[in-house]
Amino acid sequence: MKKPIVVSIVNHKGGVGKTTSVINLSAVIADSPKLRKIKKKVLVIDFDHQANATLVLYRKCDGESSIYHKLLEYSGITITHDSQEYPMDVLVKPSTIENVDIFPANSLVSTAEYELLNATSRETILKRIINHNQDFLSQYAYILIDCPPSLGVLTTNAIIASDYLLIPLDASLFSMEGVSILDKTILRLQKLFDIHTSIAGMFFVRYQPLESVHKEAKELMRREKGDLLLEQSIRKNTEIEKATYHKQPVITYSPTSLGSRNYQALGREFLKRTFKK
């Protein structure tokens, strides 16, 4: 039984394109010849209490079961439900995208940030959830985790559970300092938890090649990070926003748009780096 490849889309800055990239990359990866050949799907885990990925890929589910319930079950904290109540195949839902499932979030996830602070081994809860549910998860080739805009306990859990990290960078709000905070956090977690999580790549979102600050940001990143900066950037493209508004990935909403072509190329580059037969 092959384990799914776990990837966190992470950046503590808000609004840099994490959720948009999770939605669109999940669709591109699930539709790729590589995954179709092995007949495996993609699972999106929504780890953000804003639950934007859940809203687009499924529906608002406040008052319903969510990733919060699994986190509490594995936290060792006295819980108000027993594990039988929330098996994986009940919690995980089919999404609006073919061959993509979603482990939804809701507003309760915000309380997990502080409830988990007193849990034993609080940083490795998601890793344990994934390890203990290998049978169920073997239907997926990739698990993509949509992280919240912070470096709190949930993002720490996501990083520790991941094989790879993908880091979207907003070209218009780019700061090298932001990247180095993230770098230091990853290094610290690698040492503390003896994990092998590595950065699969960083990529610019809302990129405009004619804006000199965008070009400079890209050149600086190329000099500083070399190959870690992916070739493909995601250009600023309103079709991407419209697709999200219509609860679709851009590859189906507007297949020939620039946004669609960009995400398809990014998906290919990402698969080349991470997919193992």
Ligand X SMILES: Nc1ncnc2c1ncn2[C@@H]1O[C@H](COP(=O)(O)OP(=O)(O)OP(=O)(O)O)[C@@H](O)[C@H]1O
State the residues that interact with ligand X by CB under 6 A. Answer: 14-20, 48, 50, 52, 149, 205-206, 234, 236-237, 240-241, 244, 259
CA atoms within 13 A on the CB side of 187: 6
Among ligand X, Mg ion, none, what does residue 205 contact (CB within 5–8 Å per kind)? ligand X
40 binds Mg ion (CB under 5 A): no
* CB-nearer residue toward ligand X: 41 or 236: 236
- Dihedrals phi, psi of 103, to nearest 5 degrees: -95, 100
Compute the C-alpha angle 245/247/252, nearest 5°: 105
Q: Which range in 44-52, 77-85, 90-98, 202-210 contacts Mg ion by CB under 5 A?
A: 44-52
Torsion of CA 159, 26, 48, 79, to 10 degrees: -80
- Smallest gap, in angstroms, from Cβ of residue 155 to ligand X? 11
Instruction: Out of 19, 99, 232, 244, name the contact with Mg ion by CB under 5 A.
Output: 19
Q: Among ligand X, Mg ion, none, what binds residue 234 when CB lies within 5 to 8 Å by partner kind?
A: ligand X
Considering CB distances under 5 to 8 angstroms, the limit depending on partner class, which of Mg ion, ligand X, none binds residue 183? none
Q: How far is CA 37 from the centre of its chain?
A: 23
Q: Which helix (H) or strand (E) holds 198?
A: strand 198-207
Give the nearer residue to ligand X in terms of CB position, either 26 or 124.
Answer: 26
**Closest CB to ligand X among 17 and 104?**
17
Tally the C-alpha atoms within 13 A of residue 155's C-alpha that lie toward its C-beta. Answer: 18
Partner touching 16 among ligand X, Mg ion, none, CB below 5 to 8 Å by kind: ligand X
| Residue 237 binds which of Mg ion, ligand X, none (CB < 5-8 A, kind-dependent) | ligand X
Q: Which stretch binds Mg ion (CB under 5 A): 14-22, 120-128, 161-169, 232-240?
A: 14-22
Scanning residues 46 to 75, which ones bind Mg ion (CB under 5 A)?
52
**Which C-beta is closer to ligand X: that of 18 or that of 70?**
18
Residue among 5, 7, 9, 18 that touches Mg ion (CB under 5 A): 18
Q: Would you say 18 or 49 has its CB closer to Mg ion?
A: 18
Burial-class residue 264 by CB neighbours within 10 Å (0-12, 13-18, 19+). Answer: buried
Check if the beta carbon of residue 137 is closer than 8 Å to that of residue 89: no
Say how many C-beta atoms besides its own lie within 10 A of residue 25's C-beta.
26
Question: Considering beta carbons, is residue 19 or 197 the nearer one to Mg ion?
Answer: 19
Burial 53-69 (b: 16+ CB within 10 A, else e): bbbbbbeebeeebbbbb
Per DSSP (E only), the strands in 47-127 are 93-94, 100-103
Q: Which residues bind Mg ion (CB under 5 A)?
A: 18-19, 52
